[in-house]
Amino acid sequence: MKLVIVNVEGTGRAVFEHTDKNFLVMDKDAEGIFVDSPLVDIKSNLPVANTCVAWRNILLNPKLKAAFVEHIGLVQGPYVSSIYGMFNGTKFSELLEVCYSGKFMTGDAGIDVGFAKGAALRVSNAPSDLLPAFNGIVQALHDINYRGEVLFHISESYEVTNLFLGHFYGHFGLFSEAAQGTVQAILDFVFGKVDTCILYDSLNLGVLVSKFPYPFRKLAVSTQILSPKGAEKHLWRFKYEAQEAALITVHGSSLQEAKRRMQRTIDNLKYYDQDLQYRSDFGYREYFLAEQETYQRLSSVVHQTLSLVDKNTSDQCMNVQSVQTPEESLSPVVEPGHP
């Protein structure tokens, strides 16, 4: 079985380890366990999220599954966006709209690895106003005694086309980047220790970085993602067999700021290893459904007129400001927190 062990350190970040060794759940640094699949049944003294006996029964019994789908109002059809959040057994956290692609290569080419790049914004409207099926889903999740991560796929008409329970590393990384609290605070919400889990209004980007032979996981080659200390807070590491990959997450008050932070973090990693694999089209023409207006506003560039400076002089000033020395461009990234 695969487990996700969440180790909460002094920085508030988590370290993810995908493993089939059950004894790792006893890691002294672990605060909780996020299980990859709700079908996994694990016994532990630590709090466990994402697993659910009732959900297993629903998935394994066609009649129960049909009744559950009808009860929560799922509709068939293509999806155009996703909504993600934490459910604590009674209610949801604030929700995040995530547009993402699992295709491994730039331009949506290559095999699907689940999550290769994405962008996320806090859902600003009340979920029950946004999604007609929302209240029914809340009641259904409460009835089956589920607590953990929930992922909705939604159509152009805001209907829920699919509902997923379990662990989604890309969405979780973006949610943690957007959260006002630490990972510990997210865990506390899921396990009922605090009542709220609030998100910032920032634009959040995520990109998967890896090294060959990933995603060919059966090749027995050990790989590791090296990084300067200052960039570590942007990384969510995980392993598949001997290969390590990492999700980079950054935030910004605008698309340009988020992309700049993402590029700086990638450049810092490439200082240690030029052979990193990643999609270079992060933040490019992302499509949001509920938050498209917010995305367009954060994507716009405001050009201010320089009335007191000659155009040639201003051009020279902007050119000088854009120059970085190699030492500056490769220095460890230490980004400020959310505003």
For residue 80, the domain's CATH number is 3.30.470.20
pLDDT bin (cut points 50, 70, 90) of residue 231 is confident
User: Which range of residues forms the domain containing residue 165?
Assistant: 3-302
* Model pLDDT, residue 2: 45
pLDDT bin (cut points 50, 70, 90) of residue 182 is confident
Residue 14 pLDDT exceeds 70 = no
% residues pLDDT > 90 (the chain): 48
- Residue corresponding to tokens 């079985």: 1
Between CA 166 and CA 34 the distance in angstroms is 8
* Model pLDDT, residue 29: 57
Residue 338 pLDDT exceeds 70 = no
Residue 339 pLDDT exceeds 60 = no
Once rounded to an integer, what is the mean pLDDT over residues 210-214? 91
Residue 83 in domain = yes
Once rounded to an integer, what is the mean pLDDT over residues 208-234? 85
Task: Characterize the bridge pairing of strands 148-154 and 243-252.
Answer: unpaired
Residue 30 in domain = yes
In three state form, how does the secondary structure of the chain look?
Answer: CCEEEEEECCCCCEECCEECCHHHHHCCCEEEEEECCCCCCCCCCCCEECCCHHHHHHHHCHHHHHHHHHHHCCCCCCCCEEEEEEECCCCECCCEEEEEEEEEECCCEEEEEEEEEEEEEECCCCHHHHCCCHHHHHHHHHHCCCCEEEEEEECCCCCEEEEEECCCHHHHHHHHHHECCCHHHHHHHHCCCCCCCCECCCEEEEEEEECCCCCCCCCCCCCCCCCCHHHHHHEEEEEECCEEEEEEEEEECCHHHHHHHHHHHHHHHHHHCCCCECCCCCCCCCCCCCCHHHHHHHHCCCCCCCCCCCHHHHHHHHHHHHCCCHHHHCCCCCCCCCC
Once rounded to an integer, what is the mean pLDDT over residues 30-55? 78
Residue 169 in domain = yes
Residue 321 in domain = no
Residue 313 in domain = no
Tokens standing for residue 118: 């994405």
Residue 310 pLDDT exceeds 70 = no
Residue 298 in domain = yes
Residue 320 pLDDT exceeds 80 = no
**Selected residue with higher pLDDT from 221 and 301:** 221
Between CA 121 and CA 204 the distance in angstroms is 7
pLDDT bin (cut points 50, 70, 90) of residue 30 is low
Between CA 122 and CA 93 the distance in angstroms is 11
8 A C-beta contact, residue 83 and residue 123: yes
Return all residues near 234 (Cβ < 8 A) that are at least 6 apart.
248, 249, 250, 261, 265, 333, 335
pLDDT bin (cut points 50, 70, 90) of residue 177 is very high
Between CA 258 and CA 256 the distance in angstroms is 6
**Selected residue with higher pLDDT from 151 and 234:** 151
8 A C-beta contact, residue 269 and residue 227: yes
pLDDT in tens, 109-127: 999 999 999 999 999 999 9
Residue 60 pLDDT exceeds 50 = yes
Residue 34 in domain = yes
Residue 28 pLDDT exceeds 80 = no
Question: Residue 314: what residue type?
Answer: S
Q: In the chain, how many domains are there?
A: 1
- Residue corresponding to tokens 């759940």: 25
Sheet bearing 203-209, strands edge to edge: 160-165, 148-154, 81-87, 96-105, 109-122, 203-209, 243-252, 235-240
Residue 312 in domain = no
pLDDT bin (cut points 50, 70, 90) of residue 104 is very high
